[in-house]
Amino acid sequence: MTVTLADVAARAQVSPATVSRVLNGNYPVAAATRERVLRAVDDLDYVLNGPASALAAATSDLVGILVNDIADPFFGIIAGAVQSEIGGPGGRAGGERLAVVCNTGGSPERELTYLTLLQRQRAAAVILTGGAIEDAEHAAAMAGKLRRLAEAGTRVVLCGRPPSPETDAVALTFDNRGGGRRLTAHLLDLGHRRVGYIAGPRERSTTRHRLEGHRAALAAHGVEDDPALTVHGPYDRRSGYDATVELLRRAPELTAVVAANDTVALGACAALRDKGLRIPDDVSVAGFDDLPFSVDAVPALTTVRLPLYEAGARAGRIAMGKEEPPPGGVATVHGELMVRGSTAGPR
Amino acid sequence: MTVTLADVAARAQVSPATVSRVLNGNYPVAAATRERVLRAVDDLDYVLNGPASALAAATSDLVGILVNDIADPFFGIIAGAVQSEIGGPGGRAGGERLAVVCNTGGSPERELTYLTLLQRQRAAAVILTGGAIEDAEHAAAMAGKLRRLAEAGTRVVLCGRPPSPETDAVALTFDNRGGGRRLTAHLLDLGHRRVGYIAGPRERSTTRHRLEGHRAALAAHGVEDDPALTVHGPYDRRSGYDATVELLRRAPELTAVVAANDTVALGACAALRDKGLRIPDDVSVAGFDDLPFSVDAVPALTTVRLPLYEAGARAGRIAMGKEEPPPGGVATVHGELMVRGSTAGPR
DNA sequence: CTGTTAGCGCATTCAG
DNA sequence: CTGAATGCGCTAACAG
């Protein structure tokens, strides 16, 4: 049947313990012996039994990554970056670690469920990406889960998410508030006064922070914050389209639209064009994140660039213990305003 | 310390076996007993030990997904679809399965390495997405690995990849050849005769099939296949940009560009615009895949829509045994020509 | 429907 | 540097 460590040991004429040592490489073994073992492994086409190994060692080579939606490049880029860092030396049996990507779809229940599942797998680390769901009860439940994971030896890192109180999870947070403020300030500096805002879903830290930044800019410029100019919706193209139609209905005189992210902004652009409005001549449009397609939009999208790849890679390294966590366990990652063709002075 | 099954059993005053049965739900247990066990689980905050469970049962709740690049929505969409189908009843302990996403970056070595790693984890299933690397030696090595996985009880499904000979892996292949043919035929029907082609990387089945379709259309229309009009490059925006510049240098008179996929097409559009050429007035552009951003390009991109989500979901169901494999183990998934604003008759 | 009994395959003490 | 022994936590027969 299936080849086991004992089979390899027999063929190499050593004890199972020695084979284990060779495979894990965390222990001195004579070169000649190692050679013999490796040849036996090769001859028998032996593949280590992960579950057995994890059981005995009380830790696995799995790293969990929680994302809202893996089809969204925002998360895909982060997930890819994390994965590029979790391999390499340090893990069991060659240091190869596998990424378990969990699509929560933004659901609080699934978020908790996946954490339990990862705890069940005795994951070596867990990385939570994207904004947090802002609900006291859920936050408490999450903090509890994260604490228990940490106690069990799982390293926890938050990437693009605010710190979780009562937890010593390392947090790499994005400066969504500052980015939102600079983006709207840019429009106000251009002379816009009626600026529509398409916010993300409610009860999400990302949504709130970006919106707060927007409002801070309005306040700083002495522009009234008309509630009718803000519409909430999911982070997708459709939401951008629909929200823009609604904003135009409520305030046909608006001269600029700020979207919760680039995908939403693309939907907004489509709606404006369908209404016969030119960008930026009639209405300026701005997004957030600077996803790869944003520079190719026509006109190219003004947005706030978030270093998603770098942040994901850093989160991965911290999760692997390859990099020191930032002092205090919290680091803020700043965005960069990218002014492009989609914004100009009002007509 | 950490709570085990035995602790739960003790508290519920039943045997460990009963707790196991309640948790896995694949066995009759008296309602009252189940209640008692569940309460004990809750009281103790017990979480099953996945590795131990997998070791004893000789199978895990992990499903591997091999992708070229998770940051590319093409793969993100498929991965998300697979994940939406792998949960649900049928698995161990609540039927929750986890997706292990493996970024191969198109490297043959990593492809094989990841398969070994998934074999090590005793994955319940493995889904390979995207085109195959066309190298006899590598194909043989892959076939061998897939065979061994299947022998060990891992279900293997190919999604968007041609069947693997000498293997009984189920294959859901995309009709890249047919899509490529229809796309180029569309341009030829519009009157184009000098059509540039930006192909994907060499030695990839997807690249070859799309290119073959293109050539078949040229032949059918009696148009010469000028080798100078084909350029190879990776599946990214940059490649589209650079290749277009090169094509324009070689053949300034060309009136249309067909790209290996939508991302490449976007790069091509950028290059054309930078050269002062209008789309489609001066040069028509066409892509492949119909990724979400393609409809929002300006002008909207003519392309071949591949039902990525549906294909991924189906692959997931087949991998889970929730759906019958297609007869013969192979099904061809067809694309749909989406004619949009980026193509028109030649100037 | 429930309890008892044996391992699953490996990592890790502890000796040597 | 290597071997022998022990147990990780659970599931799956087998009884009852």
Q: What is the pLDDT along chain A (347 residues), one digit of tens a residue?
A: 689 999 999 999 999 999 999 998 878 888 888 999 999 999 999 999 999 999 999 999 999 999 999 999 999 999 999 999 998 654 444 568 999 999 999 999 999 999 999 999 999 999 999 999 999 999 999 999 999 999 999 999 999 999 999 999 999 999 999 999 999 999 999 999 999 999 999 999 999 999 999 999 999 999 999 999 999 999 999 999 999 999 999 999 999 999 999 999 999 999 999 999 999 999 999 999 999 999 999 999 999 999 999 999 999 999 999 999 999 999 999 999 999 999 999 98
Positions of strand D less than 7 angstroms from a protein CB: 1-5, 7-13
Is there a contact between B297 and A292 if contact means CB atoms under 8 Å apart? no
| H or E element, residue B331 | strand B330-333
Q: CB within 8 A of A44, min separation 6: which ones?
A: A3, A7, A8, A11
SS3 for chain A is CCCCHHHHHHHHCCCHHHHHHHHHCCCCCCHHHHHHHHHHHHHHCCCCCHHHHHHHHCCCCEEEEEECCCCCHHHHHHHHHHHHHHCCCCCCCCCCCEEEEEECCCCHHHHHHHHHHHHHCCCCEEEEECCCECCHHHHHHHHHHHHHHHHCCCEEEEECCCCCCCCCCEEEEECHHHHHHHHHHHHHHCCCCCEEEEECCCCEHHHHHHHHHHHHHHHHCCCCCCHHHEEECCCCHHHHHHHHHHHHHHCCCCCEEEECCHHHHHHHHHHHHHCCCCCCCCCEEECCECCHHHHHCCCCCEEEECCHHHHHHHHHHHHCCCCCCCHHHEEEECCEEECCCCCCCCC
Contact flag, residue B17 CB and nucleic strand D, below 7 A: yes
Q: Give the minimum alpha-carbon distance from A29 to chain B in angstroms, rounded to a whole number.
A: 23
Q: pLDDT class for B88, splitting at 50, 70, 90?
A: low
Q: Is the pLDDT of residue B268 over 50?
A: yes
B 148-167 residues with CB below 8 A of A? 148, 152
Residues 212-231 of A with CB under 7 A from strand D: none
Is there a contact between B79 and A101 if contact means CB atoms under 8 Å apart? yes
Cβ atoms of A36 and A13 closer than 8 Å: yes
Closest nt by CA–C1' to B57: D11
Which residue, among B67, B62, B69, B109, has the nearest Cα to A64 in the 3D structure? B62
Residue nearest to nucleotide C7 (CA to C1'): B56
Which residue, among A84, A102, A336, A287, has the nearest Cα to B71 in the 3D structure? A84
Q: Does B300 touch chain A (CB under 8 A)?
A: no
Query: How many percent of chain B have pLDDT more than 90?
Result: 91
Is there a contact between A51 and B47 if contact means CB atoms under 8 Å apart? no
Contacts of A148 in chain B (CB under 8 A): 45
Mean pLDDT across chain B: 94
Name the β-bridge partners of A204.
Answer: A133
Contact flag, residue A26 CB and nucleic strand D, below 7 A: no
Closest CB from A2, A69, A113 relative to B80: A69
Q: What are the CA-CA distances from residue B32 to residues A226, B14, B37, B130 (Å)? A: 59, 12, 9, 50
* pTM strictly above 0.85: yes
Closest CB from B52, B84, B117 relative to A96: B117
Helices B73-86 and A73-86, interaxial angle, to 10°? 90
- Res B246: pLDDT: 98
Residue with tokens 């040991």: A9
Q: What's the CA gap between B132 and B161, in Å, rounded?
A: 6
Residues 25-84 of A with CB under 7 A from strand C: 26, 48-49, 52-53, 55-57
Closest nt by CA–C1' to B28: C1
Q: What are the CA-CA distances from residue B329 to residues A48, B5, B170, B307 (Å)? A: 30, 41, 5, 19
- Res B27: pLDDT: 79
- Res B96: pLDDT: 82
- Res A1: pLDDT: 66
Q: Does A80 touch chain B (CB under 8 A)?
A: yes
Cβ atoms of A5 and A20 closer than 8 Å: yes
Q: How far is the CA of B46 from the C1' of C2 (A)?
A: 22
Cβ atoms of A98 and B100 closer than 8 Å: yes
Is there a contact between A70 and B55 if contact means CB atoms under 8 Å apart? no
Q: At B308, is the secondary structure helix, strand, or coil?
A: helix
Is there a contact between B296 and A267 if contact means CB atoms under 8 Å apart? yes
Cβ atoms of B141 and B134 closer than 8 Å: no
Q: What's the CA gap between B161 and A256, in Å, rounded?
A: 45
pLDDT digits (tens, 9 = 90+) for B177-216: 999 999 999 999 999 999 999 999 999 999 999 999 999 9
Q: What are the CA-CA distances from residue A164 to residues A32, A37, A74, A156, A329 (Å)? A: 51, 47, 21, 11, 11
Contact flag, residue A56 CB and nucleic strand D, below 7 A: yes
Q: At B111, is the secondary structure helix, strand, or coil?
A: helix
- Widest CA span of chain B, in angstroms? 84
Is there a contact between A76 and B80 if contact means CB atoms under 8 Å apart? no
Q: At B246, is the secondary structure helix, strand, or coil?
A: helix
* CA distance between the termini of chain B: 77
- Res A91: pLDDT: 44
Q: Is the pLDDT of residue B91 over 60?
A: no
For residue A263 the two structure tokens come to 């995908």
Q: Among the residues of chain B, which ranges form H helices?
A: 5-12, 16-24, 31-44, 50-57, 73-86, 108-120, 136-151, 176-189, 205-220, 237-250, 262-274, 308-319
Residue nearest to nucleotide C2 (CA to C1'): B18
For residue A114 the two structure tokens come to 């996946």
Q: What is the DSSP letter of B4?
A: -
Which residue, among B236, B233, B272, has the nearest Cα to B255 in the 3D structure? B272
Residue B324: burial class (beta carbons within 10 Å; 0-12, 13-18, 19+): exposed
Residues 74-113 of A with CB under 7 A from strand C: 92-93
Cβ atoms of B299 and B279 closer than 8 Å: yes
Q: How many Cβ atoms sit within 10 Å of the Cβ of residue A296?
A: 21
Q: Give the minimum alpha-carbon distance from B58 to chain A in angstroms, rounded to a whole number.
A: 9
- H helix count then E strand count, chain B: 12, 12
Residue nearest to nucleotide D1 (CA to C1'): A29
Q: Give the minimum alpha-carbon distance from A214 to chain B in angstroms, rounded to a whole number.
A: 26
Q: What are the CA-CA distances from residue A223 to residues A116, A191, A220 (Å)? A: 47, 11, 8
Cβ atoms of A254 and A219 closer than 8 Å: no
Contact flag, residue B33 CB and nucleic strand C, below 7 A: yes
For residue A266 the two structure tokens come to 């693309």
Cβ atoms of A60 and A124 closer than 8 Å: yes
